[in-house]
Amino acid sequence: MTDQNKPQDPDKAAPESPVTTRRGVRSFVLRQGRMTEGQKKAYDRSWPKFGLSREQGLIDPRELFGRDAPLNLEIGFGMGKSLAEMAEAAPDQDFIGVEVHLPGVGALLKEIEDRGLDNVRVYNIDANDVIDLCLPDGCLDRVMVFFPDPWHKKKHNKRRLIQPEFVQRIRRKLRVGGILHLATDWENYAEHMMEVMSAAEGFANTRGAGEFSPRPEDRPVTKFEKRGERLGHGVWDLLFRRTD
């Protein structure tokens, strides 16, 4: 979960990275942070078991997890604690996390080890590549995008992840009845999300037209969210169901 990480100016972005095969506008800028020693050790130990790659191509979730269970995808899990909490609280469900920043991947793998989880798998590539190259149509029960980079400057709004074209590609990967759950603490982005989702073909707001949802109990509250609440900041959740 990418919690309130302010995006760098794209004019100062790093060169094209192998984490993505897509050209053009990107919704992320790679931050060249180093893994801690604990994260690196967890990565070295656990990536061979829990890591997934673009080169593996289309996955078979039943083969991957060894069972037929509800499948959740979180895009941009940040340091992974909330994803690990959700997976631990729902052992009857399976989870795939996507994060481009390597320290976050190492942190999630450490959480997986510490909690003894076996229902999580991880991609360290652009979510667009995961959607286009790795996921079969109709395989997901829920997609979660929590606190993505808001790209709050107007000239950068085009870099926001939640756009009509992206939402329709997500729709194809959700089963009919599956849920797209978005959350942000930027009011302007919340309004943008609502506008995009309300106009999106094949989706219906679970709360009714134009309505935001209360935070579901199974979405953990992050430390940044708690800090924001103390400062009087709002948080907006949107839950939309695939209708066809």
Per-residue pLDDT of 117-134, as tens digits, reads: 999 999 999 999 999 999
Confirm whether 208 is domain-assigned.
yes
Asked whether residue 54 is domain-assigned, the answer is yes
Average pLDDT across the chain, whole number:
88
Catalytic positions are 149
Domain containing residue 55: CATH number = 3.40.50.150
pLDDT at 172 over 60: yes
Domain membership flag for residue 6: no
Q: Distance (Å, rounded) from C-alpha 104 to C-alpha 102? A: 5
Residues 132/169, Cβ–Cβ less than 8 Å: yes
**pTM to 2 decimal places:** 0.86
Q: What pLDDT is stored for residue 227 in this prediction?
A: 75
Q: Indicate whether 206 belongs to any domain.
A: yes
Instruction: Judge whether 112 and 91 are in contact, CB under 8 Å.
Output: no
Asked if the model's pLDDT at residue 22 lies above 60, the reply is no
Res 40 pLDDT > 80: yes
Is 5 contained in some domain? no
- The answer to whether residue 32 scores a pLDDT higher than 70 is no
pLDDT given for residue 206 in this prediction = 98
Instruction: Give domain status of residue 128, yes or no.
Output: yes
**Do 121 and 69 form a contact (C-beta atoms < 8 A)?**
no
Q: Which two tokens stand for residue 61?
A: 């979730």
- In this predicted structure, the answer to whether residue 98 has a pLDDT above a threshold of 70 is yes
Report d(CA 195, CA 184) in Å as an integer: 14
What residue numbers bound the domain in which 171 lies? Answer: 42-242
Say if 9 falls within a structural domain: no
53 within domain boundaries: yes
**Tally of helices (H runs) and strands (E runs) in the chain:** 8, 8
Amino acid 222: pLDDT? 80
Question: What pLDDT, on the 0 to 100 scale, is given for residue 232?
Answer: 81
Give the mean model confidence (pLDDT) for residues 44-60: 97
> Structurally, how many domains does the chain consist of?
1
Cα separation, 151 vs 157, in Å, equals 6
Q: Residue 189 has what pLDDT?
A: 94
Q: What is the pLDDT of residue 2?
A: 47
